[in-house]
Amino acid sequence: MGSIAERALLPWAQRVKTRVNLPVRLSWGDSGDSSLMLGEFAEPQVVVRVRDPAALPLLIHPGLDTLGQAYVEGWVDVEGSLAEILAVAHRLAETAEHEGGLLGRIRRRFSHTKESDSDAIQYHYDVSNAFYAPWLGESMVYSCGYFENGDETLDQAQARKIDHILQKIRLQPGQRLLDIGCGWGGLVIRAAQAFGARCVGITLSQNQFDLARERVRAAGLEHCIDIRLQDYRDVSDDPFDRITSVGMFEHVGLNHLTGYFAQMRALLKPDGWAMNHGITSTDAHDGETRYGGGSFIDRYVFPQGELPHIGTVLRTLQEGGLEAFDVENLRRHYQRTTQLWSDAFEAQTDRIKPLVDEKRWRIWRVYLAGCAWAFAHDEVSIYQVLCRPSGQPADELPWSRGWMYRR
């Protein structure tokens, strides 16, 4: 591979060195003796070792998708801190030629059927509960935490997030709550234990369903919590007093958002409250993250995931028959959450690696660290939108939002 790599990489390395001067050493060969420097420095902060010629075109035309592909497929090994590796990846991606317009962003639309959505959910969530446990923490809550001060532990932030949501929707004893995408049951268990609600939680993940039911049984709450393996489109119960959807609507699809919100409206009582909590694009035209990050996530992490801009969320929500009452940006909170997940993933490597193959471990390692970067740099955002059925009299709306933050 030596002469092939050298002929391919020399002109590219010189261009990178001229444009961005990165503290990176690129090496190849059986012993790694052949190398190029991508900048002027005393010691490299990142070392990239090429293990397979398949990596060469991906390095020469770098995007976050191609660089990520080279890493997760094992065609390159990378040494250095995750922060430095991600910084280098973004600088390299910036050197490539990209389409104009939306800064190279594309708007990908998928055909979302019940079968394809179920397959996508199971691909992502049914790795194994044992895989998620070491880095999600005791709460096993896989969504953005809520940090009032920024120094809370992950478990404290997740508990506060759940209470924040339940306070926002003004949950009262005896009310019926539907949680769309209930995960491992954390929110419905808290709603039943602390607020006296009667809950239905639905998920498409078999592993989540099994563990959530087990946790409900262990808490002695089977009489007031019903966990179902069910698509949100198939829920046909009498209307609920409250509905929550936390970290689920990213799987709905841009073309299906109005129908999704219409289903929430159909399942909600006229005086009910609903909360949609989900990740959004920061591109006003619903475009993906820059430099191929969305393509990487679609291929390796969240098949068929689609992120709308908050403007699209509010428009389709209204089209579905709901009125937004409160919109809260939690981008800083998710940056902190994903950073804690990434740190825990790194710290628990010896425990996590034996549970999956090398490729899956690499996917999740770069994905979690990449998420923390994306939220930190406004590549993606996240909003909680509190809403009610539209068309209600104004005098039935609260005067202020004070109750949301009252302890």
Name the active-site residue from 144, 199, 371, 387: 371
Q: Where are the alpha helices (DSSP H) in 113-228?
A: 114-125, 129-136, 154-168, 186-195, 206-218
Q: Phi and psi at residue 293, in whole multiples of 5°?
A: -60, -40
Dihedral sign (CA 253, 254, 258, 264): positive
Tell me whether residue 371 is one of the annotated catalytic residues: yes
Which residue is associated with the tokens 């005098």? 395
User: What is d(CA 72, CA 30) in angstroms, rounded to the nearest whole number?
Assistant: 20
Say how far residue 259 (Cα) sits from the centre of its chain.
Answer: 22
**DSSP letters along 204-267, please?**
S-HHHHHHHHHHHHHTT-TTTEEEEE--GGG--PSPEEEEEEES-GGGT-GGGHHHHHHHHHHT
Q: Could you give the CA distance from residue 94 to residue 197 in angstroms, rounded to a whole number? A: 50
Residue 35, token pair as written in the block: 């190398």
The C-alpha atoms of residue 398 and residue 224 are separated, in whole angstroms, by 29
Phi and psi torsions of 277, nearest 5°: -120, 115
Active site residues: 371
